[in-house]
């Protein structure tokens, strides 16, 4: 498989973790999201993904898959072991709720494009942009901290899609200096996950395009 990725992209980080957990070998095709206004805006990448975002997974059959959660669900269906979703429907719904809280509610507000828009189009100061970022992470993390039942992973004794989404969001929060002392459960789950080689290998600093 081929994964279009950027070392700091938390959505690509999710896909990398899932690929590693499933034991699927992949080649990384780096797409720099910052240099020259973003190499993701170049026509050659636009032809791969008209939304001009990473991750993009190209399957061995040559299918191009977009959106990290869709990519993870594809991997779950094609490589069922180890399962990243519980067997029971209620458990699955609870795992997906945590994953979507992160991927659909926290992350889009803190993503490169909206932050760039706040700066370049809305002419906001960096302090205001940082405050925006911290606000949405903290609000989401407060809910997650209440909802999670770590044992030691977000939803119990098995790694799930909730953990796959949580670890990259925590990495982002740390990079942007969001204080995490109010979130002991989140910090503990993050540490438990990062002790696993599949998560460790997916870290931004371990990517071929890391700076």
Residues in region 87-116 near ligand GSH by CB under 6 A: 103, 111-113
What is the rounded CA–CA span in Å between residue 36 and residue 147?
Answer: 41
What is the rounded CA–CA span in Å between residue 103 and residue 163?
Answer: 12
Q: Does 10 bind ligand GSH (CB under 6 A)?
A: yes
Residues in region 26-55 near ligand GSH by CB under 6 A: 33, 38, 40, 53-55
Residue 113 makes CB contacts below 8 A (sequence gap 6+) with none
What is the rounded CA–CA span in Å between residue 79 and residue 201?
Answer: 19
Q: Among residues 10 and 207, whose Cβ is nearest to ligand GSH?
A: 10
- Interface residue with ligand GSH among 9, 20, 28, 110 (CB under 6 A) is 9
Beta strands in 25-104 (DSSP E): 27-30, 56-58, 64-66
Q: How far is the CB of 103 from ligand GSH (least distance, A)?
A: 5
Half-sphere exposure of 112 (CA within 13 A, CB side): 16
Q: Among residues 115 and 192, whose Cβ is nearest to ligand GSH?
A: 115
Q: Does 170 bind ligand GSH (CB under 6 A)?
A: no
170 φ, ψ to 5°? -65, -40
Q: Does 67 bind ligand GSH (CB under 6 A)?
A: yes
Q: Among residues 113 and 134, whose Cβ is nearest to ligand GSH?
A: 113
Number of residues located near ligand GSH, criterion CB under 6 A: 16
What is the rounded CA–CA span in Å between residue 87 and residue 175?
Answer: 35
Q: Site residues (CB under 6 A) for ligand GSH?
A: 9-11, 33, 38, 40, 53-55, 67-69, 103, 111-113
């Amino acid at each position: 498989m081929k994964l279009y990725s950027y070392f700091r992209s938390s959505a690509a980080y999710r896909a990398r973790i899932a690929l590693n957990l499933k034991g699927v070998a992949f080649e990384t095709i780096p797409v720099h999201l910052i240099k020259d206004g973003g190499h993701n805006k170049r026509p050659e990448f636009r032809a791969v993904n008209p939304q001009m975002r990473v991750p993009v997974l190209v399957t061995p059959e040559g299918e191009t898959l977009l959106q990290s959660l869709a990519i993870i669900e594809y991997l779950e269906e094609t490589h069922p072991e180890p399962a990243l979703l519980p067997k029971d429907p209620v458990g699955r719904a609870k795992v997906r709720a945590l994953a979507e809280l992160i991927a659909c509610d926290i992350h889009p507000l803190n993503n490169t494009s909206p932050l760039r828009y706040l700066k370049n189009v809305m002419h906001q100061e960096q302090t205001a942009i940082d405050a925006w970022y911290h606000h949405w992470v903290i609000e989401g993390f407060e809910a997650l901290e209440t909802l999670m039942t770590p044992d030691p992973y977000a939803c119990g004794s098995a790694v799930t899609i909730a953990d796959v989404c949580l670890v990259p969001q925590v990495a982002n929060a740390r990079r942007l200096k969001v204080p995490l002392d109010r979130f002991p459960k989140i910090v503990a789950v993050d540490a438990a996950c990062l002790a696993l080689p599949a998560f460790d290998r997916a870290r931004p600093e371990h990517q071929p395009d890391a700076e």
